[in-house]
Amino acid sequence: MKERIVLAYSGGLDTSVAIGWIADATGAEVIAVAVDVGQGGESLETVRQRALGCGAVEAYVADARDEFANEYCMPTLKAGALYQNHYPLISAISRPVIVKHLVKAAKQFGATTVAHGCTGKGNDQVRFEVGIQTLGPDLKCIAPVRDLALTRDKAIAYAEEKNLPIETTKKNPYSIDQNVWGRAIETGYLEDIWNAPTKDIYSYTDSPEFPPAPDEVTITFKEGIPVAIDGVAVTPLQAIEQLNRRGGAQGIGRIDMVEDRLVGIKSREIYEAPGAMVLMEAHKHLENVTVEREQARFKATVSQRWSELVYDGQWFSPLKRSLDTFIEDTQRYVSGDIRMELHGGRAVVNGRRSDTGLYRFDLATYDTGDTFDQSSARGFIDIFGLTSKVATERDERVAGEAK
């Protein structure tokens, strides 16, 4: 039997051409693997038939939308993960679930190599190959664009020569990656970081300049996971999809940033993540009510490190797994309702309630019913400030002796 190579297949021009390109360059049979993580567009069956029409000997397709929402988006939400305080890891968290299915398909069809369509400048090559090495250590990796010199011009010429069932058009000026958690746009006009984004690049969000009437929404969480919207039960996938629609209509979740790529270069990126950013804001405010102070302070550090690990392709790493354990423990009491107003590009929390919260009216109030013992404050302040007081006295003594 010929050697077999599994290819991460999107259904577009580049990966469709890569099927035959890889076969010609290596002599191997190609199995196309398409994974639906909520990117929209064509049906999986359409994608499957195109892969076969382009020369794949097998086509593995997986509807992973719920899997992606439950096992990848929800941990990101619980972690409060925003790379460089802005990016909700849209592409970074989709790569591990795709890797999981690539390795599964390789085992199922007896493949020895996994191929992906990444370039040598981006983060995704690392995310794919580190994940593949971890889940399938016996598998080899190749990247046709990076390793086999497959350029866009060559792809178009090859598709026309072979009469492949794929539209060959001039390259879109932007590179776009999307899933249910959000949408990422880069390159082209945006590479001049002085240029403002044009309106045509947005798809998940309407302009916040002329929003519809304010939209009030109540999100119910159980142990950090959204379980109902406006009192109606939802799955994580349904919660993200519904808030994508409602948040997107208000122009919420547009992000324009210059980020630090793993390979050492800075890159200008535009993101749209209406559902993710609404959920992040709601979750953060519920944590403010339910998570103990020292836990919350330390979780901020953990969240930053978790974000960096996932961005850098270390989803399956031991450290990330250990941080998951801490984060999961912090979510034990993150249950309750958050009421928000969505309007004009902003998601503003205006109501909170939780049966497991740490907010107590009798301790917080300045009115009748106050149970806080204010007489304890003076002694607390004396002890709390003692180390600084002693250090200052030392500084003054040493300065006086030096004169």
In this predicted model, what pLDDT tens digit does every residue of 156-202 receive, in sequence order? 888 888 888 877 666 666 888 999 999 999 888 899 999 999 999 99
Is 14 labelled a binding residue?
yes
Q: What is the pLDDT of residue 171?
A: 63
The pLDDT of residue 154 is: 84
- The answer to whether residues 44 and 109 belong to one domain is yes
If asked whether residues 222 and 267 sit together in one domain, one would say yes
Of 118 and 133, the structure prediction assigns the larger pLDDT to 133
Q: Residue 142: pLDDT band by 50, 70, 90 thresholds?
A: very high
pLDDT, mean of residues 301-316: 98
Question: What distance in Å separates the CA atoms of residue 203 and residue 183, rounded to the nearest whole number?
Answer: 8
Average pLDDT for 308-327:
98
Is 267 an annotated catalytic residue? no
Residue 22 pLDDT level (bands cut at 50, 70, 90): very high
119 annotated to bind ligand:
yes
- H-assigned helices in 72-139: 74-79, 90-109, 124-135
Q: What is the pLDDT of residue 144?
A: 87
Last residue of a domain, one of 109, 141, 171: 171
Whether 36 and 158 share a structural domain: yes
Rg of the chain on CA atoms, in Å: 26
Looking at the structure, tell me whether residues 265 and 156 fall in a common domain.
no
Let me know: does 126 contact 313? Beta carbons within 8 Å: yes
Q: Is 253 annotated as a binding residue?
A: no
Which pLDDT score, from 0 to 100, does residue 169 have? 63
Whether 139 and 112 map to the same domain: the answer is yes
| 174 annotated as belonging to a binding site for a ligand | no
- Of the three residues 120, 140, 171, the one that is the final residue of a domain is 171
Does residue 341 sit in the same domain as residue 193? yes
Residues 63, 146, 175, 261: which is the catalytic one?
A: 175
Residue 327 counted as domain residue: no
Catalytic residue among 95, 183, 246, 254: 95
Cα gap 37→183, rounded to integer Å: 12
CA distances from residue 94 to 73, 84, 199, 266 in whole angstroms, order as listed: 9, 18, 26, 21
Please tell me which residue in 36, 50, 124, 254 is annotated as part of the active site: 124
> Span 91-111, mean pLDDT?
97
* SS3 call for 382: helix
More confident residue, 258 or 147: 258
Q: What is the pLDDT of residues 196-228, one digit of tens each?
A: 999 999 999 999 999 999 999 999 999 999 999
Indicate whether 116 and 238 sit together in one domain: no
What average pLDDT does the segment 246-273 reach? 97
Evaluate whether residue 303 is within a structural domain.
no
Given a contact cutoff of 8 angstroms between Cβ atoms, the answer to whether 25 and 19 are in contact is no
So what's the pLDDT on residue 168? 63
Q: Is residue 314 part of a domain?
A: no
Q: Respond yes or no: is residue 124 known to be catalytic.
A: yes
- Which pLDDT value is given to residue 300? 98
Q: Is 169 annotated as a binding residue?
A: no
- Counting the structural domains of the chain, the total is 3
pLDDT tens profile 373-394: 999 999 999 999 999 999 999 9
Whether residues 39 and 144 share a domain: the answer is yes
Distance CA 347, CA 215 (A): 9
| Residues 348 and 236 reside in one and the same domain | yes
Domain that holds residue 112: 4-171
Could you tell me if residue 232 is inside a domain? yes
pLDDT at 125: 94
> Is 89 annotated as belonging to a binding site?
no
Average pLDDT over residues 247-260: 98
Q: For residue 394, what is the domain's CATH number? A: 1.20.5
Is 85 assigned to a binding site?
no
Instruction: For residue 299, tell me if it sits in a domain.
Output: no
State mean pLDDT over 230-242: 98
Q: Left, alpha or beta for 253 (phi > 0: left; psi -120 to 50: alpha)? A: left
Picking from 171, 204, 233, the residue at the C-terminal end of a domain is 171
Give the model's pLDDT for residue 136: 97
CATH of the domain at 37: 3.40.50.620
14 labelled catalytic: yes
134 and 272 belong to one structural domain = no
The annotation status of 189 as a binding-site residue, yes or no, is no
Percentage of the chain modeled with pLDDT above 70: 99
Residue 145 pLDDT: 84
CATH (domain of 201): 3.90.1260.10
Catalytic annotation present for 177: no
Cα 146 to Cα 143: distance, rounded to the nearest angstrom: 5
**pLDDT tier for residue 146 given thresholds of 50, 70 and 90:** confident
Q: Has residue 220 been placed in a domain?
A: yes
Is 123 annotated in some ligand binding site? yes
Residue 107 lies in a domain: yes
Looking at the fold, whether 162 and 221 belong to one and the same domain comes out as no
Residue in 14, 36, 206, 312 annotated catalytic: 14
Give φ, ψ of 268 to 5 degrees: -85, 125
| Helices 274-290, 236-249: crossing angle, 10 deg rounding | 110
Q: Classify residue 254: in a domain, yes or no.
A: yes
Same domain as 184, residue 278:
yes
